[in-house]
Each structure stands twice: as C-alpha cells, then as structure tokens.
Amino acid sequence: MKYCKKCGSENNDDNQFCYNCRSEEFTDQKPQQSAAPASPFPSPVMPVQGGNPVPPQPPMQGVPPVNPNMPAGRPPVPPYTPVMQQPVYQRPQKKPLTIADLLTILGFVAALVGMFSASVILHPIAAVSSLFGFLKGTKFKPLSVAGFVISIVGGLVYIILSLHRSGLLPDWVTFGAFH
C-alpha cells in the first residue's frame, strides 16, 4: 500500500492518482496526521458572499473519476454479464399410432354403433378391443375406458331386453316396479 503525500489517504500500489484528492504524489510511509484530511472538492452547499451565491468550481481537468476499487491506469471494464440465448423450441416427438391405439378407436366406435344396431356382434368386439387398447395402447386410455364401459352397459341392456322378450324376466324387472 502507498499513501498520498497531500491528504494521507491509503491507496492501492497500482493507483496513479489518489482516490481522495487525485494527487500524483505518494509515499510508502503513513503520514502522522491527527486531523481528518480536507477534501479538495467543493461542498455541495454553495457559500454566500455578499448575498450572491458562489458558483461551484468545475472538476479538475484530465484527471480520471474517483473509484477506489479500480486500479489506476486501466480503463473501466463493465462487469461481465453472460449473454443469455433464448432457448430454441423443439417440437415434442409424436408417438406413432400402434395397433392397440387403433383397436381402442375401433372399440369405442363399435360400442357406440352397437347401442343402435347389431349389438350382439358389436358389444363383445368393443369390449375386447377397448380392453386390449387400454392394456397395450399408448395414447387413448380414456377413450378405451369409455368404449369398454359403453360396451358392457350396452351388452347388459341387450341381455335384459332379450330375456324380457323371451318371457324369462317380468316387466317390473325390466322396466322398474312402477311402470
């Protein structure tokens, strides 16, 4: 460390100017001063002489600005800020349709069509293909559950109506007690 001969402030060894008074004269020994060093800069409050304010004195010419953390003789370097690149959007890979996914769609459609016609054939096909699609499929799990439930309910309705038509079930079982 070195000390300013003018104001006694402690400076870095590589400073060319005192960070306090901007003097160029330094010594290696700490000066013996009891009073605080006076600053060479004008105070922000302007003194009044004879009722007219005294304008502040301009800063010293050719002297770099005071920064005790910056070594003298080097230009100020802005702090390093990494350049953030915007991430590139990558479209997610689509899973290809498998046979199980196609069977799921077939089971759902067969369950819906089976509610209106050919339910003896379509409901068992819908139940099996929806169940297979649920177990092995990758995409349409809710659709396979819906197809399976519709096919089971439709099959039960068909069985109950068939038993009623054959006379094996009474009317109150098929249509309810208050029909």
Domain residue ranges of the chain, discontinuous segments joined by +: 1-31, 99-175
Say what the pLDDT of residue 77 is.
Answer: 57
Count the neighbouring beta carbons within 10 Å of the beta carbon of residue 115. Answer: 16
Say what the pLDDT of residue 172 is.
Answer: 80
- List, for residues 2-32, the tens digit of each pLDDT value: 888 888 888 888 888 888 888 888 888 887 7
In contact, 32 and 38? CB cutoff 8 Å:
no
Residue ranges for the chain with pLDDT beneath 50: 34
